[in-house]
């Protein structure tokens, strides 16, 4: 009995142990299974999260354009901003792709002062002929330069004045390299601007228009200066002021030759290693009126959607932009009607305003739309006269010399 009891007890103990081991194994299996299931669930959740795009943070609104030099509520500025917002909105039927957002702008009188006392380009060429003792002008150049000075004094432009000035300037710059003319323009620009205080010649940018230029460039418009002034001269004074490369400045051009070329046609001459590029002394084109349109077509190859101007010399370019049949265009016209901060002509400005109404150009009034023209501290110099050689460089070449040259030409 005792042995059987012991055997039975041992059997019971063994069964209990086996059962315990089985229960432990089941528990471990269940734990492992639960852990595996949890891991799978976690991986599935991560996968689902990866497939589901994260909620986008609200995009920051672009800062409102700032135009501190414009009168609050200016109608032409409001039209410009509304236009830009419309044509840069991809959901708008008037959307213009960036590659077709071409702006062409005149320079003198549109972006830069032309009444101090005349175009920068004209003043520079007159300085070269009459007041630069290092240059010996021809009698014809002297005669033309004196005519231009008379135009500056009176404000009365001769019908052939533009053509004469282009011919005179081309001859006066002949033999200079592009870099030399560039530096010459920069040096001249450092002189005090006649008829204004606290302003150098090359600082005469219209502050409100520079704000417009920056605004257009920030909205992916490609900005071109299209001017009747000498291309190299304007490239020099635009550099560092408007954020565009020299290739986006189109202007009046003169011939260029290699120093070793002589009278040989460029078609038959090959550049030599010792050659330098110089101006040939002859005018090619005066970039005004219809010539602006052909220059745009030739050099840009895309019809503009915005044009900026200030005179009838820009009319062809403004109308060319408005003739764009593919996109909605805009043309702005700056009126020189301010007689307190500038030397404006209200009567002429009134005629130009009527022309704007007829042609569909948006008029911009210097007097009514701008809080400043050249910036703080710049004022008209009411004391300035033509008899201040220390202020203008005038009379550095003896008047008798100029008269003698004219007599010799006659």
Tens of pLDDT, residue by residue over 235-254, are: 999 999 999 999 999 999 99
Number of domains comprising the chain: 1
What is the DSSP annotation of 344-372? --HHHHHHHHHHHHHHT-EEEEHHHHBS-
Name the more confident of 406 and 151.
151
CATH of the domain at 258: 3.40.50.1000
Is 27 a residue whose pLDDT tops 90?
no
pLDDT band at 34 (very low <50, low <70, confident <90, very high): low
Assess if residue 324 is contained within a domain: yes
pLDDT band at 135 (very low <50, low <70, confident <90, very high): very high
Q: Is 343 helix (H, G, I), strand (E, B) or coil?
A: coil
User: Which pLDDT score is estimated for 385?
Assistant: 83
pLDDT band at 347 (very low <50, low <70, confident <90, very high): very high
Is 269 a residue whose pLDDT tops 70?
yes
**Mean pLDDT of the 160-177 span:** 97
Assess if residue 22 is contained within a domain: no
CB burial class (10 A; 0-12, 13-18, 19+) of residue 397?
buried
Assess if residue 152 is contained within a domain: yes
User: Which pLDDT score is estimated for 39?
Assistant: 58
* Predicted TM-score of the model (pTM): 0.81
Assess if residue 194 is contained within a domain: yes
- C-alpha 370/C-alpha 227 separation (Å) is 23
Name the more confident of 210 and 150.
210
Q: Which residues pair with 278 in a beta bridge?
A: 257
- Quote the percentage of the chain above a pLDDT of 70: 78
Contact between 367 and 399 (Cβ < 8 Å):
no
Residue where the block lists tokens 């007689």: 339
Assess if residue 327 is contained within a domain: yes
Is 177 a residue whose pLDDT tops 70?
yes
User: Which pLDDT score is estimated for 152?
Assistant: 85
139-148, pLDDT tens digit by residue? 999 999 999 9
Q: What is the 3-state secondary structure (H, E, C) of 219-263?
A: CCCEEEEEEEEEHHHHHHHHCCCCCCCHHHEEEEEEEEEECCCCC
* Cα-Cα end-to-end distance for the chain: 160
Is 45 a residue whose pLDDT tops 80?
no
- C-alpha 84/C-alpha 88 separation (Å) is 6
pLDDT band at 66 (very low <50, low <70, confident <90, very high): confident
Assess if residue 284 is contained within a domain: yes
User: Which pLDDT score is estimated for 154?
Assistant: 83
Find all residues with CB under 8 Å of 54, minimum gap 6, and list them: none
75-116, pLDDT tens digit by residue? 999 999 999 999 999 999 999 999 999 999 999 999 999 998
**Mean pLDDT of the 257-269 span:** 96
Per-residue burial over 371-385, b if 16 or more Cβ lie within 10 Å, else e, is eebbeeebebbeebe
Assess if residue 166 is contained within a domain: yes
Q: Is 227 helix (H, G, I), strand (E, B) or coil?
A: strand
**For residue 348, what are the domain limits?**
75-88+95-263+271-409
User: Which pLDDT score is estimated for 356?
Assistant: 98
Assess if residue 53 is contained within a domain: no
User: Which pLDDT score is estimated for 38?
Assistant: 54
């Amino acid at each position: 009995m005792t042995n059987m009891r012991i055997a039975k007890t041992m059997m019971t103990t063994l069964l209990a142990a086996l059962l315990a081991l089985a229960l432990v194994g089941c528990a471990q299996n269940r734990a492992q299974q639960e852990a595996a299931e949890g891991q799978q669930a976690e991986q599935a959740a991560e996968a689902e999260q990866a497939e589901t795009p994260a909620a986008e943070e609200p995009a920051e609104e672009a800062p409102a354009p700032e135009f501190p030099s414009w009168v609050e509520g200016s109608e032409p500025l409001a039209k410009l901003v509304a236009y830009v917002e419309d044509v840069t909105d991809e959901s708008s039927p008037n959307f213009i792709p960036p590659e077709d957002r071409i702006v062409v702008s005149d320079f003198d009188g549109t972006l830069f002062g032309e009444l101090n006392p005349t175009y920068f380009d004209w003043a520079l060429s007159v300085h070269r002929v009459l007041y630069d003792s290092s240059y010996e002008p021809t009698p014809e150049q002297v005669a033309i330069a004196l005519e231009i000075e008379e135009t500056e004094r009176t404000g009365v432009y001769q019908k052939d004045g533009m053509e004469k000035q282009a011919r005179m300037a081309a001859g006066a710059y002949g033999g200079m390299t592009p870099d030399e003319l560039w530096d010459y323009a920069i040096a001249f620009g450092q002189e005090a601007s006649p008829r204004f205080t606290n302003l150098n010649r090359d600082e005469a940018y219209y502050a409100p228009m520079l704000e417009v230029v920056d605004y257009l460039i920030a909205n992916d418009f490609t900005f071109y200066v299209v001017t009747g002034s000498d291309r190299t001269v304007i490239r020099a004074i635009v550099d560092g002021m408007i954020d565009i490369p020299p290739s986006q400045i189109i202007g009046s051009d003169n011939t260029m030759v290699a120093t070793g070329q002589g009278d040989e046609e460029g078609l038959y001459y090959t550049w030599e290693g010792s050659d330098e590029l110089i101006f040939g002394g002859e005018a090619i084109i005066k970039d005004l009126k219809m010539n602006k349109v052909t220059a745009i077509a030739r050099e840009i190859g895309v019809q503009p959607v915005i044009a900026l101007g200030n005179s009838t010399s820009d009319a062809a370019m403004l109308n060319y932009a408005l003739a764009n049949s593919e996109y909605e265009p805009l043309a702005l016209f700056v009126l020189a009607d301010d007689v307190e901060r500038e030397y404006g002509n209200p009567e002429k400005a009134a005629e130009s305003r009527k022309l704007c109404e007829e042609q569909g150009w948006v008029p911009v009034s210097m007097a009514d739309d701008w809080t400043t023209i050249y910036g703080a501290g710049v004022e008209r110099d009411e004391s300035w006269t033509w008899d201040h050689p220390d202020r203008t460089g005038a009379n550095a070449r003896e008047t008798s010399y100029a008269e003698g040259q004219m007599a010799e030409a006659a």
